[in-house]
C-alpha cells in the first residue's frame, strides 16, 4: 500500500495524518534523537501505525462529523468547536498531527501500540512495597500525553488510570 497523507480534502485512500517531512521538522525542533537515523520507509510505516492507533482509539470520540462517507480517516471534520472557535473543515488540526507524530515516535520502537491484554493486576507486593491498582482502571498501556493533546478535539477528556502505592512497614 502506498503512503498517502490526508490533505484536508477527505481522501478515500489516505493512511496518515502527517507527512514524513512534517514529522522530521517536528522531531528536529524538539531535539529528539533516533528518528533521523530511520529510513523514510520506516518513518512512513510508523506514521501509518500511529494513525491506525488514533483511528482505533478516538474514531468514535471526536467532536463533530466526518466530511464525507468515503473519506478513509476521521479528519477532516465539520462542526468541531475548540475554545469556542470553529475548526476549519478542510484541515487536520495541528494537535491531531502532533499526536500522530508522538505516536509515530513510539511506533518506531514498538510495533504493537494496541497490545492484547490479559487479566487486570489488582495487587502486587514486592518485599515491603505493595501496589494496588484500581479495579476499574484501563488495561494495557495508556498514552496520557496523547489523550491530553487530543482532549479539546474529543467529547471526552479523561487523562488516564489511577494507581495507589502503599508502603507497609513491619
Cell 479539546 locates to 152
Structure confidence at residue 45 (pLDDT): 96
Cell triple for 47: 506514521
Structure confidence at residue 95 (pLDDT): 97
Q: Of all helices (H) and strands (E), which one includes residue 66?
A: strand 65-66
Q: Compute the distance between CA of residue 2 and CA of residue 105 in angstroms, rounded to an integer.
A: 20
Question: pLDDT digit string (tens) for 89-131?
Answer: 999 999 999 999 999 999 998 767 777 665 566 667 777 787 7
Instruction: For residue 150, give Cα distances in angstroms to 59, 127, 154.
Output: 12, 39, 6
- Coil, strand or helix at 101: helix
Structure confidence at residue 138 (pLDDT): 56
- Coil, strand or helix at 150: helix
Structure confidence at residue 31 (pLDDT): 94
Structure confidence at residue 68 (pLDDT): 96
Q: What is the mean pLDDT of the chain?
A: 85
Cell triple for 11: 481522501
Cell 462542526 locates to 79
Q: Compute the distance between CA of residue 102 and CA of residue 35 in angstroms, rounded to an integer.
A: 11
Q: What is the mean pLDDT of residues 148-160?
A: 72
Percent of the chain past pLDDT 70, that is, above it, reads 79
Q: What is the residue extent of each domain of the chain?
A: 20-167
In the structure, what pLDDT confidence band is assigned to residue 18 with cuts at 50, 70 and 90?
very high
Structure confidence at residue 158 (pLDDT): 43
Structure confidence at residue 162 (pLDDT): 35
Region label for 48, one of left (φ > 0), alpha (ψ between -120 and 50) or beta (otherwise): alpha
Q: Compute the distance between CA of residue 9 and CA of residue 67 in angstroms, rounded to an integer.
A: 9
Which of 16-25, 37-46, 108-117 is the least confident region?
108-117
Residue 170 has pLDDT above 80, yes or no: no
- Give pTM, 2 decimals: 0.77
- Coil, strand or helix at 55: helix
Structure confidence at residue 122 (pLDDT): 65
Amino acid at each position: 500500500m502506498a503512503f498517502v497523507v490526508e490533505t484536508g480534502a477527505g481522501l478515500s485512500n489516505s493512511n496518515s495524518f502527517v507527512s514524513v517531512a512534517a514529522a522530521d521538522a517536528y522531531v528536529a525542533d524538539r531535539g529528539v534523537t533516533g528518528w533521523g537515523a530511520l529510513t523514510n520507509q520506516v518513518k512512513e510505516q510508523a506514521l501509518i501505525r500511529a494513525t491506525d492507533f488514533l483511528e482505533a482509539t478516538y474514531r468514535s470520540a471526536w467532536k463533530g462529523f466526518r466530511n464525507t462517507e468515503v473519506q478513509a480517516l476521521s479528519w477532516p471534520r465539520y462542526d468541531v468547536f475548540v475554545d469556542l472557535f470553529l475548526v476549519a473543515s478542510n484541515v487536520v488540526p495541528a494537535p491531531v498531527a502532533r499526536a500522530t507524530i508522538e505516536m509515530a515516535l513510539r511506533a518506531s520502537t514498538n510495533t504493537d501500540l494496541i497490545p492484547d491484554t490479559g487479566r487486570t493486576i489488582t495487587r502486587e507486593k514486592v518485599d515491603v512495597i505493595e501496589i494496588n491498582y484500581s479495579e476499574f482502571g484501563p488495561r494495557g498501556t495508556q498514552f496520557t500525553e496523547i489523550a491530553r493533546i487530543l482532549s479539546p478535539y474529543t467529547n471526552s477528556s479523561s487523562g488516564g488510570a489511577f494507581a495507589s502505592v502503599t508502603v507497609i512497614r513491619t
